């Protein structure tokens, strides 16, 4: 018995494209003798379709393409994820297509309504288990959240199911794989001899990133080597699993024919080497960021990219990622020095651009600053220079970048990181401008690790960019530490407060000073209005700003 697992990178709303992609996988499955093809959750429409689900025509077209796939491949059983309407209710469903028609349907029972998920806004829960037979074996069907909540898996176990197929659109989180697998494995160990086939989607969709990382496993008590197969991260591929032998599953990968399939980095790391464990995680994170930007740019038909290159580490990492996504002639880095810009920043920006072979422009902004100083001379008289003047510099740069993007039909890449976004260490309508923010959920300390990974084989990012004190360079001798604690400390507080939801009092018990905690928490709270207007960027932590964390801007609650 052969089962084909399609780690599909769907495009939300492009039903024809997705249907054709499923057909390509069905073709591969057919040619390799697979009897069942499995595709991820909502593979036909892409995940998450959000308010597209409220349009009747959208649901009708999904059904049209579902039947088209069934009629094209009548001899193979194809499991397709799609939305479906029945009795005026909408369901998150998977259909088993066979002999040119819909043979079985299973509706997702557990609907996630937390974090980035709001499925209860659209779907009704299913009530019945999904079961089908193939070659005398009993198969059970689950969709994503069904396997995390008690009930659906246990019900299949009572029905003597031998194979469970769980299809998913489960977003990536940094270092989440082991924990996710252990939770599922512990559940399986308490049940009968179930074989679990866990299939996840791949690709970037606005603020979400899907990493694949599908696997096949069985209860540990029946097999010391319970984990039979792990697919790896961020590769769109077709996996043929041959279950012919009782104690061995033969795996064949077919990935060369599918778009969005390649790992862009080379020199893969052996995750079994404990010395390379952290490097392996950062390497995969970098691949994920590459895929997130690649999908955002290509799925939105963006041809040209622009970014402000400051000579700092954030813009350096963003430029490297962008240089792997579009051709060099379609990527422009612009250095916009003021009198506060150091020679080191200018030299390092130029060197990095040269190393990457991208377009590089220098546009001094001192004359623009003088125009603004003249404009506000009377109104600002006697008030002294401060944050307003600093922000004018950032907004001049933002305006220049947007002018280039508008004129040449491109997009500006924002370069801010999660640490800065958390405490508002950024200028709205200034360095925050952009259509996509690849580091939006990446803490500053992790940005340094990514930079070191980029430089692992050769120095691409000038070492001085990594080593020197970070600075916005908006006033004389300015460094980030003048306004913020060290990023090592700041990131620890952000992790505990934002991602783990510890209160101000609890943070102080961790050993941080009361004054520092009060300052950081206040900055987080008062910067919400900026974050609401920031560019989208991929979620990579357990709680990202945006859909994951919804905090009122107008808020008088005193901590």
Give the pLDDT confidence of 473-529 residue by residue, as tens digits. 778 777 877 788 899 999 999 999 999 999 999 999 999 999 999 999 999 999 999
Are residue 337 and residue 199 in the same domain, yes or no? no
Are residue 241 and residue 183 in the same domain, yes or no? yes
101-107 vs 130-134, strand pairing mode: unpaired
Q: Quick check: is 41 catalytic?
A: yes
Are residue 311 and residue 193 in the same domain, yes or no? no
HEC string of 317-346? HHHHHHHCCCCHHHEEEEECCCCCCCHHHH
For position 127, which CATH number holds?
3.60.110.10
Mean pLDDT in residue range 546-555:
88
Residue 166 lies in a domain: yes
pTM of the model: 0.93
Are residue 81 and residue 181 in the same domain, yes or no? yes
Under 8 Å between Cβ of 202 and 281: no
Q: Quick check: is 108 catalytic?
A: yes
Angle of the 514-526 helix axis to the 487-494 helix axis, nearest 10:
70
Determine the pLDDT at residue 253: 79
Domain stops at, among 417, 449, 484: 484
HEC string of 8-45? CCCCCCCHHHHHHHHHHHHHHHHHCCCCEEECCCCCCC
DSSP letter string over 410-437? -EEEE---HHHHHHT-S-TTTTT--SEE
| pLDDT above 50: residue 110 | yes
| pLDDT above 80: residue 248 | no
3-state secondary structure of 144: helix
Give the pLDDT confidence of 380-402 residue by residue, as tens digits. 998 988 899 999 999 999 999 99
Domain stops at, among 441, 469, 484: 484
Query: Which tokens sit at 414?
Result: 């924002």
- 429/432 Cα distance (integer angstroms): 6
Q: How far, in Å, are 71, 373, 469 from residue 420 at the CA level?
A: 53, 27, 15
- 210 contact partners, CB below 8 Å, separation of at least 6: 9, 47, 169, 170, 171, 172, 200, 201, 202, 203, 204
- 457/267 Cα distance (integer angstroms): 9
Residue 517 lies in a domain: no
Are residue 369 and residue 434 in the same domain, yes or no? yes
What range defines the domain where residue 220 resides? Answer: 2-262
Tell whether the torsion through CA atoms of 486, 491, 492 and 494 is positive or negative. positive
Which is catalytic among the residues 11, 77, 108, 444? 108
Are residue 256 and residue 358 in the same domain, yes or no? no
Are residue 8 and residue 131 in the same domain, yes or no? yes
- 262/8 Cα distance (integer angstroms): 13
Residue 102 lies in a domain: yes
Which is catalytic among the residues 62, 144, 173, 453? 144
Give the pLDDT confidence of 400-410 residue by residue, as tens digits. 999 999 999 99
Q: How far, in Å, are 118, 142, 154, 197, 308 from residue 151 at the CA level?
A: 21, 11, 5, 18, 52
Are residue 340 and residue 224 in the same domain, yes or no? no
Residue 102: φ, ψ to 5°: -80, 115
Residue 553 lies in a domain: no
Half-sphere exposure of residue 143: CA atoms within 13 angstroms, side-chain side: 30
Residue 513 lies in a domain: no
- 15/46 Cα distance (integer angstroms): 8
For position 296, which CATH number holds?
3.40.50.620
Are residue 315 and residue 411 in the same domain, yes or no? yes
Taken as a whole, the chain contains a residue count of 559
Residue 157 lies in a domain: yes
HEC string of 360-382? EEECCCHHHHHHHHHHCCCCCCC
Are residue 20 and residue 164 in the same domain, yes or no? yes
Sheet containing 89-98, strands listed edge to edge, beginning at the edge strand earlier in sequence:
101-107, 89-98, 77-86, 36-38, 2-6, 238-245, 248-254
Residue 551 lies in a domain: no
Lowest mean pLDDT among 49-58, 174-183, 522-531: 174-183
Lowest mean pLDDT among 155-169, 208-222, 357-371, 414-428: 208-222
Helix or strand run (H / E) with residue 239: strand 238-245
Q: Quick check: is 144 catalytic?
A: yes
Domain stops at, among 458, 484, 510: 484
Determine the pLDDT at residue 261: 46
Which is catalytic among the residues 7, 11, 41, 77? 41
Are residue 50 and residue 148 in the same domain, yes or no? yes
- 452 contact partners, CB below 8 Å, separation of at least 6: 282, 466
Residue 275 lies in a domain: no
Are residue 404 and residue 346 in the same domain, yes or no? yes
Lowest mean pLDDT among 266-280, 295-309, 458-472: 266-280
Burial 520-539 (b: 16+ CB within 10 A, else e): bbebbbebbebbeebbbbbb
Work out how many domains the chain is built from and give that number.
2
């Amino acid at each position: 018995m052969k089962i084909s697992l399609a780690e599909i990178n769907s495009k939300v709303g492009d039903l024809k494209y997705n249907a054709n992609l499923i057909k390509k996988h069905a073709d591969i499955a057919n040619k390799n003798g697979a009897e069942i093809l499995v595709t991820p959750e909502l593979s036909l429409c892409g995940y998450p379709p959000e308010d597209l689900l409220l349009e009747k025509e959208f649901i009708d077209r999904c059904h049209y393409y579902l039947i088209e796939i069934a009629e094209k491949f009548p001899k193979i059983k194809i499991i397709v994820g799609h939305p479906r309407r029945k009795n005026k209710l909408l369901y998150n469903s998977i259909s088993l297509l066979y002999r040119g028609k819909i043979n079985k349907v299973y509706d997702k029972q557990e609907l996630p309504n937390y974090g980035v998920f709001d499925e209860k806004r659209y779907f009704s829960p299913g009530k019945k288990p999904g079961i089908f037979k193939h070659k005398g074996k009993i198969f059970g069907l689950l969709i994503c959240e069904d396997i995390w909540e008690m009930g659906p898996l246990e019900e299949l176990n009572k029905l003597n199911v031998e194979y469970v197929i769980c299809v998913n659109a489960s977003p990536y989180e940094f270092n989440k794989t082991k924990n996710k697998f252990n939770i599922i494995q512990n559940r399986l160990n308490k049940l009968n001899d179930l074989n679990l086939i866990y299939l996840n989607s791949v690709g970037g969709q606005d603020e979400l990133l899907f990493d694949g990382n599908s696997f096949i496993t069985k209860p540990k008590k029946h097999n010391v080597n319970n984990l039979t197969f792990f697919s790896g991260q961020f590769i769109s591929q077709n996996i043929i699993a041959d279950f012919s032998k009782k104690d061995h599953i033969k795996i064949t990968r077919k990935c060369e024919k599918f778009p969005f399939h390649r790992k862009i980095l080379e020199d893969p790391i052996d995750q079994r080497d404990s010395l390379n464990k952290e490097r392996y995680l950062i390497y995969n994170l970098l691949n994920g960021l590459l895929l997130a930007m690649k999908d955002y740019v290509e799925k939105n038909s963006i041809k040209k990219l622009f970014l402000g290159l400051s000579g700092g580490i954030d813009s350096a990492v963003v430029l490297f990622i962008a240089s792997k996504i579009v051709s060099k002639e379609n990527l422009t880095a612009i250095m916009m020095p003021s009198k506060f810009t150091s020679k080191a920043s200018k030299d390092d920006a130029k060197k990095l651009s040269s190393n990457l072979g991208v377009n590089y422009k220098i546009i001094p902004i001192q004359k623009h600053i003088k125009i603004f100083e003249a404009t506000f001379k009377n109104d600002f008289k006697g008030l002294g220079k401060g944050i307003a003047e600093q922000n004018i510099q950032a907004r001049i740069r933002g305006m220049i970048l947007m002018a280039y993007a508008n004129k040449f039909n491109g997009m500006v890449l924002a370069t801010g990181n999660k640490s800065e976004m958390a405490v508002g260490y950024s200028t709205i309508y200034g360095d925050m401008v952009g259509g996509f923010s690849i580091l939006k959920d990446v803490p500053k300390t992790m940005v340094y690790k990514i930079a070191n990974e980029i430089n692992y084989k050769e120095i691409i990012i000038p070492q001085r960019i990594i080593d020197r004190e970070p600075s916005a360079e908006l006033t004389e001798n300015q460094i980030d530490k003048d306004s913020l604690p060290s990023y090592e400390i700041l990131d620890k507080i952000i992790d505990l407060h934002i991602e783990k939801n510890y209160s101000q009092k609890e943070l102080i018990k961790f050993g941080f000073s009361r004054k520092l905690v009060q300052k950081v928490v206040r900055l987080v709270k008062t910067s919400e209005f900026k974050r609401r207007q920031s560019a989208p960027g991929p979620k990579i932590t357990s709680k990202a700003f945006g859909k994951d964390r919804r905090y009122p801007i107008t808020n008088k609650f005193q901590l």
